[in-house]
């Protein structure tokens, strides 16, 4: 290679180096902008949810006070109107809570760490205690291993899956079983119920936000399973359901094994 070719090669290398540096700097600036936007949005969500909760709390308090003070003293329509206001407030409060939880599923700084899935299930059962007693439901489980995740978020995942099984079971005594098995570097968890099952066309749809299989027939906001999907995928896992109509449903999700 003569000197002119060598100079040309060196010039091209220098051009590529500068282009790479410029691209790296551009990516850093874009990431900084995204970080700032995320922080601003997190602050907005926090302030907005706080203000909305305060407003809803005021409406709930005054409507309850009116119902207690004027029940039976006004006409029947007034009692129905007040009851409808209180019911609407409860639904709005539940929706607001689920929206904030859904957004936080992949935005709150919850780094994966070694955790005991037994502890997450225990916490989920504590949260679901009232619902379990009212439905006469039983939850059994096999020994569950440690995985990589966050105990609070995964407890909420299990709570949603257990609550979903109870809500749609349609039997006097719902029965739910939680188990797991190792698959290479992952652990596959299952939450099996004895409910009516899910028709094949709806198995993917139910994980979408606000996608409710039974419409207004059952209570809920349509965000529970969407939260589960977002939370599991955040830790590198996946979630799906297998079911046959009349033979119950089994929700599966994977998480990285702790070892």
The strand pairing partners of 196, in sequence order, are none
Tell me the C-alpha distance between 119 and 106, whole Å. 21
Tell me the C-alpha distance between 131 and 136, whole Å. 8
Tell me the C-alpha distance between 254 and 241, whole Å. 12
User: What pLDDT does 80 receive?
Assistant: 82
User: What pLDDT does 256 receive?
Assistant: 92
Tell me the C-alpha distance between 141 and 191, whole Å. 9
CB 106 within 8 A of CB 51: no
User: What pLDDT does 212 receive?
Assistant: 59
User: What pLDDT does 254 receive?
Assistant: 94
User: What pLDDT does 176 receive?
Assistant: 92
Tell me the C-alpha distance between 190 and 194, whole Å. 13
User: What pLDDT does 109 receive?
Assistant: 59
Chain mean position to CA 223: 7
DSSP-derived pairing of the beta strands 186-193 and 249-256:
antiparallel
pLDDT in tens, the chain (259 residues): 567 777 777 888 888 888 888 888 888 887 777 667 666 766 776 777 777 778 888 888 888 888 788 777 777 777 788 888 888 888 787 777 777 777 766 665 567 889 999 999 999 999 899 889 988 899 999 999 999 988 989 999 999 999 888 887 767 788 999 999 998 899 999 999 988 777 766 666 777 766 655 555 555 566 788 888 988 998 889 999 888 777 788 999 999 988 7
The length of the chain is 259
């Amino acid at each position: 290679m003569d000197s002119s070719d060598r100079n040309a090669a060196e010039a091209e290398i220098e051009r590529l180096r500068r282009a790479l540096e410029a691209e790296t700097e551009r990516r850093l600036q874009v990431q900084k902008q995204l970080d700032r936007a995320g922080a601003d949005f997190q602050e907005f969500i926090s302030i907005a949810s706080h203000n909305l909760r305060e407003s809803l709390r005021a409406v709930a308090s005054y409507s309850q006070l009116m119902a207690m003070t004027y029940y039976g003293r006004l006409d029947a329509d007034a009692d129905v109107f007040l009851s409808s206001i209180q019911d609407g407030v409860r639904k709005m409060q539940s929706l607001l809570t689920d929206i904030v939880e859904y957004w936080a599923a992949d935005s709150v700084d919850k780094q994966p760490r070694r955790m005991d899935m037994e502890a997450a299930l225990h916490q989920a059962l504590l949260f679901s205690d009232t619902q379990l007693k009212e439905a006469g439901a039983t939850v059994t489980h096999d020994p569950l291993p440690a995985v990589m995740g966050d105990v609070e978020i995964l407890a909420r995942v299990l709570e949603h899956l257990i609550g979903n099984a109870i809500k749609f079971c349609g039997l006097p005594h719902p029965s739910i079983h939680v188990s797991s098995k190792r698959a290479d570097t992952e652990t596959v968890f299952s939450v099996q119920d004895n409910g009516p099952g899910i028709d094949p066309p709806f198995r993917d749809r139910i994980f979408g936000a606000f996608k409710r299989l039974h419409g207004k027939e059952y209570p809920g906001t349509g965000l529970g399973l969407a939260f589960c999907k977002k939370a599991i995928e955040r830790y590198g896992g996946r979630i799906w359901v297998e079911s046959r109509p009349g033979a119950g449903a089994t929700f599966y999700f994977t998480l990285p094994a702790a070892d």
